[in-house]
């Protein structure tokens, strides 16, 4: 088991975190099935040789996360799984634009290779410093700007990106062709356009925009972080799915 995976599962070296992840592990792996009464606090206290407060902290968090249900006098029970994962497709803007029957055009605005700043590392969830490539691009639908793209690429994961100018091909399609992703996270929200975005998208400052941020990992290594900003009128995200088995 790799360091990164361990960190992702266990979260930290503290004891209550270990208790928490041990129990999560048992529940998520199915060893403790829904309805099962997990050990009492005083039993876990004995098992881990620690105080009840420490056990309580772990169990409270599990209850908050919805994995267990706590009942006074009765104990704590594994809950029925209740959430369905939705799959949002990794979208290709060219395809979206062409689906609208408009001509697609891509423009690279800026490109900078640099040593990762603290902010870069935060965005990429990168542990150590290293080279990154920062890109700013625009995507047009017909004559109008359709989306603004700000992207960071972790050069430690994708070294060959350092040689690419991205003048003729957008980083999204370029990356998809080269780096298989194993995990992605989307954050979607509405914002008011700041000056920079307003100019890039040719809309009024303060106009509502849809922001889609995505981080992608490949085999536990952060690959890229990207923020797409769309003018409100120009875009609707569609996610259609069926519940998975569970």
Partner DNA sequence: CGTTCTAATATGTATATACATAATCGCCAT
Partner DNA sequence: ATGGCGATTATGTATATACATATTAGAACG
Instruction: For residue 207, give the 3-state DSSP assignment.
Output: coil
Q: Check if the beta carbon of residue 234 is closer than 8 Å to that of residue 141.
A: yes
Site for DNA in 8-27 (CB under 7 A): 12, 14-17
| In 35-162, beta strands by DSSP E | 37-38, 68-71, 75-78, 104-115, 131-141, 144-154
Considering the complex, state which of residue 41 and residue 164 has its C-beta at the smaller distance from DNA.
41
Could you say which of DNA, a second copy, none residue 150 binds, taking C-beta under 5 to 8 angstroms by partner kind? Answer: none
Could you say which of a second copy, DNA, none residue 51 binds, taking C-beta under 5 to 8 angstroms by partner kind? Answer: DNA
Tell which one of 43, 183, 194, 202 touches a second copy (CB under 8 A).
Answer: 183
Alpha-carbon gap, residue 134 to 119, rounded angstroms: 12
With residue 189 as reference, give the H or E element that holds it: strand 183-192
Site for DNA in 29-68 (CB under 7 A): 40-42, 49-54, 56-57, 59-60, 63
Closest CA to 147 of 184, 86, 193: 193
Interacting residues with DNA (CB under 7 A)? 12, 14-17, 40-42, 49-54, 56-57, 59-60, 63, 70-76
Where do contacts with a second copy occur on this chain (CB under 8 A)?
64, 66, 81-90, 95, 99, 181-192, 206-211, 230, 232, 235-244
């Amino acid at each position: 088991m790799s360091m990164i995976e361990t960190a992702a599962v266990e979260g930290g070296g503290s004891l209550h975190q270990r208790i928490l992840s041990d129990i999560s592990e048992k529940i998520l792996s199915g060893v403790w099935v829904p309805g099962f009464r997990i050990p009492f606090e005083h039993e876990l206290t004995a098992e881990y040789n620690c105080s009840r407060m420490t056990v309580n902290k772990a169990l409270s968090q599990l209850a908050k996360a919805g994995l267990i249900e706590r009942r006074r006098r009765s104990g704590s029970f594994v809950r029925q799984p209740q959430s369905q994962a939705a799959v949002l497709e990794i979208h290709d803007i060219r395809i979206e634009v062409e689906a609208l029957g408009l001509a697609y055009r891509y423009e690279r605005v800026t490109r900078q290779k640099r040593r990762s700043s603290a902010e870069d590392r935060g965005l990429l969830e990168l542990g150590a410093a290293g080279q990154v490539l920062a890109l700013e691009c625009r995507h047009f639908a017909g004559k109008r700007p359709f989306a603004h793209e700000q992207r960071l690429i972790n050069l430690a994961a994708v070294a060959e990106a350092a040689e690419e100018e991205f003048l003729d091909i957008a980083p999204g399609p370029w990356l998809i062709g080269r780096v298989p992703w194993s995990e992605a996270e989307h954050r979607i929200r509405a914002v008011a356009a700041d000056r920079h975005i307003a100019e890039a998208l040719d809309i009024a400052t303060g106009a509502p925009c849809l922001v889609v941020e995505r981080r992608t990992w490949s085999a536990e290594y952060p690959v890229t972080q990207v923020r797409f900003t769309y003018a409100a009128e120009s875009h609707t995200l569609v996610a259609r799915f069926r519940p998975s088995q569970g």
